[in-house]
Amino acid sequence: MSATPPPSVLFVCLGNICRSPLAEAALRHAAQAAGLELTVDSAGTGSWHIGKGPDPRSCDEASRHGIDIAHYRARQVTARDFDRFDRIVALDASNLANLERIAPASPHARLSLLLDHVPGMEGQDVDDPYFGGPEGFVTTWEQVSEAARNLVAEFLDERAGRGH
């Protein structure tokens, strides 16, 4: 086994209770299915949900796909995350701008927007389902799952030396 640590990804949305926990779950699930070892976490740029579990609708949507996220706990992104993770992936342009604002001068992490990893959806925000009904969480899951599959493919290409 290689001494190189597995690639690491941090997903970031506003409160870390809806979109980023679903993205974390989707990437963990996709990586496991592909036999790819990854370190995956999520955080929010805001502080008001620190220590709270995901929105029950996020838990319900993940559960529909056989994934339990009830034990996840919201946290706020920190300056240290820019050195701890290889990639920090924002769920929308507003959070990407917040991350760019707080990033150190020479961060280790590469910043990106999640849907930049989905051909044809570059530059778009993952839908924020917070103020809507459960159907919004279905759409969010579809978006983060497609992006997660593409991220896994990117990591597998990098591991094979084909890079992105």
- Residues annotated as catalytic (active site), given as ranges: 13, 19, 128
User: Which residues on adjacent β-strands are paired with residue 11?
Assistant: 42, 89
CB 147: neighbour CB atoms within 10 A? 26
Q: Which residues contact 16 (CB under 8 A, 6 or more apart)?
A: 42, 43, 44, 46, 49, 74, 75, 76
> How far is 21 from 1, CA to CA, in rounded Å?
29
Q: Which residues contact 30 (CB under 8 A, 6 or more apart)?
A: 145, 148, 149, 151, 152
Length of the chain: 164
Please give the distance of CA 132 from its chain centroid, rounded to a whole number: 21
**How many C-alpha atoms does 122 have within 13 Å on its Cβ side?**
2
